[in-house]
Amino acid sequence: MSTATDDVVNELKTTLVTESGPAENSSSAVLAVTVLERRRGWQVVDFHELWRGRELLYFLTLRDIKVRYKQTILGAAWAILQPLATMLVFSMFFGKVAANPSSTVPYSLFVLTGLVPWMFFSNAISMAGQSVVGSQTLVTKIYFPRLIIPMGAIGACLVDFAVSFAMLAIMMAWYGVTPQWSFVLVPLLTLGLVIAALGVGALLSALTVTYRDFRHVVPFLVQFWMFATPCIYLQKETAFGTSGHLLLPLNPAYGLISNFRAALLGLPLDRTSLAVSSLVAVILLLLGCYCFRQMEATFADII
């Protein structure tokens, strides 16, 4: 017997568990086997399992960041150029139509404070929706909480959001805007956007595994969603009408982004839209995680 074979045999002997005594009684020896699988239960999200996989979440987030900016010239500068370029386009083509002449906030700053959270929200949905299919080799190798994959994609988008938010802070200083007490609400409103993005992203990622048509649906959905969130580019609030003010908060991005801007610029908060949009965001999270949990058992088979 070769030395390599002897090493393998000795290694196996250390893992033997016997039913009737020491390891030398090989006739009754049984190999200890560890089975990794999802815990059964009714809960929508297994927080204990996610906490155990927190290190994997960190490494998946780091991987997504590296992949996104690998072999790029500008790198993280794209997180600044995208909202800036869109702000210039809106200012040039919608500045006179959508701006409110009586407003104390310049239209360019108004649009930018809406585009920065929107860029995070839209990129988070797009990246999370494609994340499970993009991690095919990892999903088919070993079990781990699959929800960590879209969470990692959203975590990478948070890094871009931090970069673009720094640029937004510089623009606010340029226009002489001083943060008010409401600035402390910005992290909570950002958390609301994360919750909504995770709910929609988890649902889309599960659907994309089963129906690859969603690869084409998601970009169209995100583009349509931006124009269905008029608080990003429309400064004249009276254009919505009474019915519009009642229906628009059902879009979670509307209430969260409009109040995100208000918290930044020291404007009055719209508590009604904030409450309704936050509730819709939580419902989307529960619905998305529930559908994801119901479908994740088949991911490795059909991906």
Per-residue pLDDT tens over the stretch 90-114: 888 877 777 777 778 888 899 999 9
Mean of pLDDT over the chain = 81
pLDDT at residue 263 tops 90: yes
Identify the band that residue 14 occupies on the pLDDT scale cut at 50, 70 and 90: very low
DSSP-derived 3-state class of residue 18: strand
Identify the weakest region by mean pLDDT among 27-31, 211-215, 272-276, 277-281.
27-31
Contacts of 174 (CB under 8 A, 6+ apart): none
pLDDT at residue 82 tops 80: yes
Please give the structure tokens belonging to residue 138.
């990892």
Burial classification of residue 266, based on how many CB atoms lie within 10 Å of its CB (0-12 exposed, 13-18 middle, 19 or more buried): middle
Residue 92's alpha-carbon distances to 98, 103, 108, in angstroms, are 11, 18, 9
Greater model confidence, 22 or 108: 108
Cα–chain-centroid distance for residue 81? 21
Identify the weakest region by mean pLDDT among 10-24, 234-248, 282-296.
10-24
Q: Please compute the mean of the pLDDT values over residues 114-138 and round it to a whole number.
A: 91
Please give the structure tokens belonging to residue 107.
């239209």
Q: Please compute the mean of the pLDDT values over residues 115-120 and round it to a whole number.
A: 94
pLDDT at residue 70 tops 80: no
Q: Please compute the mean of the pLDDT values over residues 117-138 and round it to a whole number.
A: 90
Quick one: which of 118, 159, 111 has its CA closest to 254? 118
pLDDT at residue 282 tops 80: yes
Identify the weakest region by mean pLDDT among 90-94, 165-169, 255-259, 280-284.
90-94
pLDDT at residue 276 tops 80: yes
Q: Please compute the mean of the pLDDT values over residues 221-230 and round it to a whole number.
A: 90
Contacts of 224 (CB under 8 A, 6+ apart): none
DSSP-derived 3-state class of residue 27: helix
Q: Which pLDDT score is estimated for 43?
A: 61
Percent of the chain with pLDDT over 90: 34
Highest mean pLDDT among 24-33, 80-89, 239-248: 80-89
User: How many of the other CB atoms lie within 10 Å of CB of 184?
Assistant: 10
Cα–chain-centroid distance for residue 253? 13
Q: Which pLDDT score is estimated for 16?
A: 41
Q: Which pLDDT score is estimated for 139?
A: 82
Q: Are 288 and 198 in contact (CB under 8 A)?
A: yes
Q: Please compute the mean of the pLDDT values over residues 250-268 and round it to a whole number.
A: 93
User: How many of the other CB atoms lie within 10 Å of CB of 71?
Assistant: 5
Identify the band that residue 17 occupies on the pLDDT scale cut at 50, 70 and 90: very low
Q: pLDDT tens for residues 159-199?
A: 999 999 999 999 999 988 888 888 999 999 999 999 999 99
Number of residues that this document lists for the chain: 303
